[in-house]
Amino acid sequence: MAWYDELLSGARALFWRRQSDRELAEEMRHHLEMETELNMREGLSRDDARQRAQRDFGSVARYKDDVHDERGASAVEGLLKDAGFAARSLRRQLGFTSLVILTLAFGIGATTTLFAVVKGVLLAPLPYARTDGLAQLWSSWTGFEKTWLSYDEYEAWKTEIPAIEDVGLFTDGAVNLTDGDEPERVRSANVGANVFAVLGVGPLLGRGFTEEEDRLNGAPAAILSHEVWQRRYSGDPAVVGRTIQVNGAGVPVVGVMPAGFKLPLDFGSGAATQVYFPMATDAASEGAIPGPAFQRGGGSHGFYGVARLTRGSTVGMVNAQLADYVAQLVRDNVLSATRNFRAFAVPMDEQITGGVRNAILVLFGATSVVLLIACANVAGLLLVRGERRRRELAIRVALGAQGTRLTRLLFAESALLALAGASSGCVLAWAGIALVRRTAPSTFPRIADVSIEPSLLFFTLAIASMAALLTGILPALQASRVAPAEELKEGSRGATVGGSRLRWRQTLVSAEVALAVLLVVGAGLMIRSVGNLLGIDPGFNPNAVLTMRLSTPSSWYPDSNRVVAFWEDLQNRVNRIPGVTSSGSVLLLPLATEMGDWGLKVEGYTPPPNQGTPGDWQVVTPGYFETLGLRLVSGRVFDARDGMGAPLAMIINRRFAELYLAGRDPLGARVVIGGSPDSLAYTIVGVVDNVRHNALTREVKAQFYAPLAHFARAPGSTRRSMNLVVRTDGDPRALIAPVRNVIRQVDPRLPVSEIRTLDEVVRASIAAPRFAMELLGVFGAIALTLAAIGVFGVVSQVVALRQHEFGIRAALGARPGQLVGLSLRTGVRQVAAGIVLGVAAAVAATRLLGRLLEGVTPTDPVTFAAVVLITAAVALLASALPARRAARAHPGAVLRND
Amino acid sequence: MLVLKLLTIEPMHGWGLSYRLRQISHDVFDVNQGSLYPALQRMLRRGLIRSEWRVSDNNRKARFYEITRQGRQHLSAEISEWERSSGAVNRVLRFV
């Protein structure tokens, strides 16, 4: 109970001080009266008696304080008092205070922003049940590092791998929602009936797909995403059971998924799936062998697979079992060893955020470094302030202030500053989070999950307390060593300043410079890397080209003749728009989507044993090559000659010619697409230069282009979704409205999607390294500025403290230049030490940038040299400004000073 | 300790305590009167004594202090401790 009593008494004393003071006064008065009476009894007059009583007792006020202290209120109250005092003294120095708060706000704001990203993207749970028991399944072989599953693989992994409980199959696509006034193209997915169960998420309304619907030619059914349900069907629960128009045909809605649900691969793409349909397929229709048997050679790959692991199994176990199984297939000669086939599972969290985890952690590290520099700077500023206040503090100590009281006072100051910094930092973080969400590439997974939430406040408070501690500890140490006698005697009039007082300050500056070098090196490497990326020739000219996606559903365009006629008509009309120089269309925009390959037979070419003749395929309409500015190497491009009835024509890339037609004239060579008996043979009419289709940094593969009109002649090969590309001699964005008008004239039912300039497509393909570069660049600049302020501060201080000495030196004949050199030297040593330290740290740390770097080694000497030079120059400038003041030291003025 | 001992005799107010202290110890303990009150507060806080406003013998309102059970226990512990240490000092004094 003792602690309880103490607490109660302390609290009462604090809050009821008035009342207890009154009681105390009463008691004192009683005491004095009694004493006075006693004295009077001893024969003194009333006045004398009272006086003596009072003398014996002493100051009433002081005892009140003593008694009050005894009641235990002083700790809390002292703190409040200190805070009040600190606030007053900080308010008096508004410039200093706002500089400190701003510095801390930047550090805290940046760190909080990045923490929000870390939390939203890496820490927040995924919208699935038991995420650690989920894995994405992939296949890989020579030329394809990570690709789809075949139906045979799906069946085998589902039943033959003990660590896998179930596999859900899905594919992605896009459909036109054609009911209502505004047709709309949305991302869609076909999912196996078990996919939602595998992911552990049930529909919000209605039901999932049944096995009957999932069967080949099963009843049509659709499940809506929460987003499209809200947006297009105004969140009406009655939509379940209603029939919606998809690609011009009626499909009944059977369910609605909950908000936030996404398929595993939707996280890395800008647009999430809006409508789900049943997979509705089987082994036979996929050209696979029913059951766990494998087709020789592997068959066609086109499915995404998500696996639910059996309880207690790990992804490592799945991978080991998959490797064993594939090895057996190779031993049984079902799969060829030379294709290097591999099946593997990727843990779900890595699948979704693995690509950005590195970048996020690097940036979070960078903001922490900024925060550290900010703290060092503030600690430095407080030290300077402490230096100026030495006399004030000395007087306080001389007048009886306890050391702990001073320390408390200084910590109260740091705490107040940190708190103010944190609240401004919160505002900055709020803006920062909005900025990150707006500027992050749309393919940045889970960026929508980054939000301002209450838990961030705790983080901010935690780092603010850390900042208060970091910034308060040095000034407090400094104050605790104040020796009043020394201080007051010396009168701060020593001719030179002892090094020890500046030592902490200088160490701080070295640390700041080192941290700044670390960040600027990181930023420099990213800038070089992005520069390299931008310098890569994509093989086409992305300037002044507008692109948009259109699709021609089979319900309105039942055969390929109509599709081809539609594009011809559309391109003719688009070409007549003023400002348009050419137009075309293409199946897959370069740098937007990865390309798949076909097995080819090239006349006169025999592939090495067990290897095929793969070629990445592209379907275009005449005008595409001119519009994208592809470079023709030989032959001709497609034109009006290559219509529906014309001889089958093909254009290949340079790599194709080098690989399969080396030493021959490629023109006129014949190529068969596919291996079935009804495959068509094309004649090569042209060779174009390589296009970096999959990524700027990926190796170019053998690639061929076929005209839409010809490709559609093979059964089932009509390409319904194409990208219109339009080149202009002006601003491509200005063409959006006229082109949409033309499309409406041709067919008002067709929705247009993904309206972008080709430039944007290219830039989006390197959005992740650019994003990292921009943020690192900003943080690097902040770090360098803060470090420069630190250097400026310490040199200013040295110059100020040595004015007296400089005056004497000037009087003895030192030239101004010598004085400037003298004060510069004090800064140079710390900067040099900081740069050396920073370079060492950077050599160790830049390896973390890893895959973000392109064409630059993490220890790129050019970058390091440039950063050293820049940092040195900035530091020199920062010290030159105050050093100049040393030159103005006038002997007379300085000696008169003080 | 002395204050507690005095309070075992009867509840007393501040001045009474200071007067008694001076009286009993023949002015050896001229307890700084100011430090008496903080000491009383300390003991109040630790629950060794309790206080109450009462009317004193000469019809004045005064704050009377009274020893608690806890105070008595504390006192006896202090006394035995004191006897032990003062006994030790006495033994040394006698021996040397």
CB contact under 8 A, B41 and A63: no
Q: Is residue A344 part of a domain?
A: no
Q: A38 CB near a chain B CB, below 8 Å?
A: yes
- Set of chain A residues whose Cβ sits within 8 Å of the Cβ of B47: 1-2, 5
Q: Is residue A134 part of a domain?
A: no
**Partner residue facing A71 (CB), from B14, B45, B47:** B45
pLDDT at position A827 is: 75
**Do residues B18 and A31 make contact, with C-beta atoms less than 8 angstroms apart?**
yes
Q: Which domain holds residue A698?
A: 557-748
pLDDT at position A637 is: 93
Q: Is residue A256 part of a domain?
A: yes
Q: How far apart are CA A605 and CA A599, in angstroms?
A: 13
Q: Is A649 helix (H, G, I), strand (E, B) or coil?
A: strand
Q: How far apart are CA A199 and CA A746, in angstroms?
A: 43
Give the least confident one: A420-424, A432-436, A441-445. A441-445
A91 and A67, same domain (yes or no):
no
A406 and A322, same domain (yes or no):
no
CB contact under 8 A, A71 and B18: no
ipTM for the predicted complex comes to: 0.72
A368 and A472, same domain (yes or no):
yes
**Do residues A519 and A836 make contact, with C-beta atoms less than 8 angstroms apart?**
no
What is residue A731's DSSP assignment?
A: -
Task: Quick: pLDDT tens for A26-79.
Answer: 777 777 777 787 778 777 777 887 787 777 666 555 555 555 555 555 556 666
A861 and A882, same domain (yes or no):
yes
Task: Decide if pLDDT at A492 tops 50.
Answer: no
A170 and A302, same domain (yes or no):
yes
DSSP letter for each residue of A476-494: HHHHHT--HHHHHHHTT--
A195 and A64, same domain (yes or no):
no
Task: Decide if pLDDT at A435 tops 50.
Answer: yes
- End-to-end Cα distance, chain A: 59
pLDDT at position A493 is: 46
Bridge partners, A157 (sequence order): none
Distance from CA of A76 to the nearest CA of B (A): 17
Amino acid at A22: R
Q: B84 CB near a chain A CB, below 8 Å?
A: no
Task: Decide if pLDDT at A212 tops 80.
Answer: yes
Q: Which domain holds residue B73?
A: 2-95
Q: Is residue A545 part of a domain?
A: no
A286 and A398, same domain (yes or no):
no
- Set of chain A residues whose Cβ sits within 8 Å of the Cβ of B32: 58
A80-105: b (≥16 Cβ within 10 Å) or e: eebbeebeebbeeeeeebebbbbbbb
Q: Which of A593, A644, A597 is nearest to A621 (CA)?
A: A644
Average pLDDT, integer, range A718-722: 84
Task: Quick: pLDDT tens for B44-78.
Answer: 888 888 888 877 777 777 888 888 888 888 888 88
Distance from CA of B15 to the nearest CA of A (A): 5
Q: How far apart are CA A161 and CA A156, in angstroms?
A: 7
A297 and A153, same domain (yes or no):
yes
**Partner residue facing A70 (CB), from B15, B38, B62:** B38
Q: How far apart are CA A794 and CA A553, in angstroms?
A: 72
Q: Is residue A471 part of a domain?
A: yes
| CATH classification at residue B81 | 1.10.10.10
Q: Is residue A397 part of a domain?
A: yes
Looking at mean pLDDT, say which of A10-19, A107-116, A448-457, B14-23 comes out highest. Answer: A107-116
Q: Is residue A135 part of a domain?
A: no
- Set of chain B residues whose Cβ sits within 8 Å of the Cβ of A6: 45-46
Q: How far apart are CA B21 and CA A249, in angstroms?
A: 107
Amino acid at A665: D
Q: Which of A758, A760, A711 is nearest to A560 (CA)?
A: A711
Amino acid at B87: G
Task: Decide if pLDDT at A275 tops 60.
Answer: yes
A481 and A517, same domain (yes or no):
no
Distance from CA of B4 to the nearest CA of A (A): 17
Q: Is residue A138 part of a domain?
A: no
Q: What percent of chain A has pLDDT over 70?
A: 89
Task: Quick: pLDDT tens for A72-124.
Answer: 555 566 667 777 777 777 777 777 788 888 888 988 998 999 999 899 888 88
Amino acid at A412: A
**Do residues B82 and B1 make contact, with C-beta atoms less than 8 angstroms apart?**
yes
A597 and A624, same domain (yes or no):
yes
Q: How far apart are CA A735 and CA A85, in angstroms?
A: 65
Q: Which of A705, A703, A707, A672 is nearest to A690 (CA)?
A: A703
**Partner residue facing B45 (CB), from A9, A56, A66:** A9
Q: How far apart are CA A775 and CA A585, in angstroms?
A: 36
CB contact under 8 A, A66 and B13: no
Q: How far apart are CA A433 and CA A117, in angstroms?
A: 8
A322 and A372, same domain (yes or no):
no
Q: Which of A282, A200, A204, A188 is nearest to A240 (CA)?
A: A204
Owner of token pair 């030196």: A809
CB contact under 8 A, B45 and A70: yes
Average pLDDT, integer, range A501-524: 84
Number of structural domains found in chain A: 5
Number of structural domains found in chain B: 1
Q: Which of A779, A805, A706 is nearest to A520 (CA)?
A: A779
Q: Is A579 helix (H, G, I), strand (E, B) or coil?
A: coil
CB contact under 8 A, B60 and A30: yes
A68 and A80, same domain (yes or no):
no
Average pLDDT, integer, range A435-446: 80
CB contact under 8 A, B41 and A35: no
Which helix (H) or strand (E) element contains residue A832? helix A816-845
A801 vs A696, higher pLDDT: A696
Return the ∠ at Cα A333 (arms to A328 and A338), rounded to 5°.
Answer: 95
Q: Of A72, A87, A103, which marks where a domain is finished?
A: A72
Task: Quick: pLDDT tens for A759-790.
Answer: 988 888 887 788 888 888 888 888 888 888 88
